[in-house]
Amino acid sequence: MERLDKLLASTGRWSRREAKALIKEGRVLVDGAPERSAEARADPAASLIQVDGEALSCGGYTYVMLHKPAGVLSATEDPRQGTVLDLLPKELRRRGLFPVGRLDKDTEGLLLLTNDGALAHRLLSPKNHVDKVYYARLDRPLGEADREAFARGVTLADGSRCRSAGLTLLGGGREVLVTLHEGKFHQIKRMAASRGAAVCYLKRLSMGPLELDGNLNKGEYRLLTREEVAKIGGKG
């Protein structure tokens, strides 16, 4: 049994204050009857809880899209530095979310956070070929020969070989889109270095069918829609 306002807030859809207001307005039904006390307790496994007629799903998996800003770590905790979890409200932090793959501290863009370990494993497994698209700005232009080298698969300074990657030249080649089908440490920076260029700015735009929502400013997040959860193979 959990307090009703806490249960509503734990879905991440409402703050505690908003949850209290919804309850007070009689918009929350427990087993068909309006419950107007935020302190009332309910068991989401035993009772049907509805908000504006829509059944509340508590305890399922959570999928969050974050527009990661530069300067925060893709980790769940760190004793010295801010992590992406620090950008989420307490209600969501309590749910055991972790980032699906890592972006470097100075990389921005799409980061999926979830507590669905099986989905994370599927999205990250190289055999599933989930494309990740990045926008990069470079200190010198890349050209057609670099595009061909990326397509063949470049060899990094440590001798490791990359899979074939897509390179689209924009803005005279100093801006590029890179499509990766794998996720090695600092991969794009090292691939660019193998062609004599340095990455000045890097942003992930998409991961498989999931695209960064253009309405999210840096540091902002939202829950995935039901359609997005279905598209990436999550449990809605």
Task: Tell me how far, at minimum, the Cβ of 167 lies from ligand URA, in Å.
Answer: 13
Q: For 67-185, where are the alpha helices, taking DSSP H only?
A: 90-93, 117-124, 144-152
Instruction: Indicate the residue among 182 and 213 with the shorter CB distance to ligand URA.
Output: 182
Buried b (16+ CB within 10 A) or exposed e, 116-151: beebbebbeeeeeebebbbbbebeeebeeebbebbe
* Residue 100 binds to ligand URA (criterion: CB under 6 A): no
Q: Which stretch binds ligand URA (CB under 6 A): 14-22, 78-86, 122-130, 185-193?
A: 185-193
Number of residues that this document lists for the chain: 236
The residue annotated as part of the active site, out of 52, 104, 106, 116, is 104
Q: Give yes or no for residue 110 binding ligand URA (CB under 6 A).
A: no
The residue from 30, 38, 85, 103 that contacts ligand URA (CB under 6 A) is 103
- Site for ligand URA contains 202 (CB under 6 A): yes
CB-CB contact of 189 with 174 (8 Å): no
Total residues contacting ligand URA by CB under 6 A comes to 8
Residue type, 214: G
Nearer to ligand URA, 114 or 187 (CB): 187
Minimum CB distance to ligand URA smaller for 104 or for 175? 104
d(Cα 235, Cα 202) in Å, to the nearest integer?
31
CA 100, CA 215: separation in Å to the nearest integer?
21
Using CB under 6 A as the binding rule, whether residue 104 contacts ligand URA is answered as yes
Q: Clarify whether 31 is annotated catalytic.
A: no
Q: In whole angstroms, how close is the CB of 189 to ligand URA at the nearest point?
A: 4
Residue listed under structure tokens 């204050």: 17
Q: Which stretch binds ligand URA (CB under 6 A): 77-85, 99-107, 165-173, 216-224?
A: 99-107
Q: Please answer whether residues 166 and 205 qualify as being in contact, where contact means their C-beta atoms are separated by less than 8 angstroms.
A: no
Q: For residue 100, what are its two tokens?
A: 């699906």
Cα–Cα distance, 48 to 127 (Å, whole number): 40
Q: Does 107 bind ligand URA (CB under 6 A)?
A: yes
CA 165 to chain centre: 22
Element (H, E) at 88: none
With CB under 6 A as the contact rule, the residue among 93, 186, 218, 222 that binds ligand URA is 186
**Binding status of residue 188 toward ligand URA by CB under 6 A:** yes
Candidates 18-26, 33-41, 75-83, 187-195; binding stretch for ligand URA (CB under 6 A): 187-195
For position 167 contacting ligand URA by CB under 6 A, the verdict is: no
Binding residues (CB under 6 A) for ligand URA: these are: 103-104, 107, 186-189, 202
Catalytic residue annotation: 104
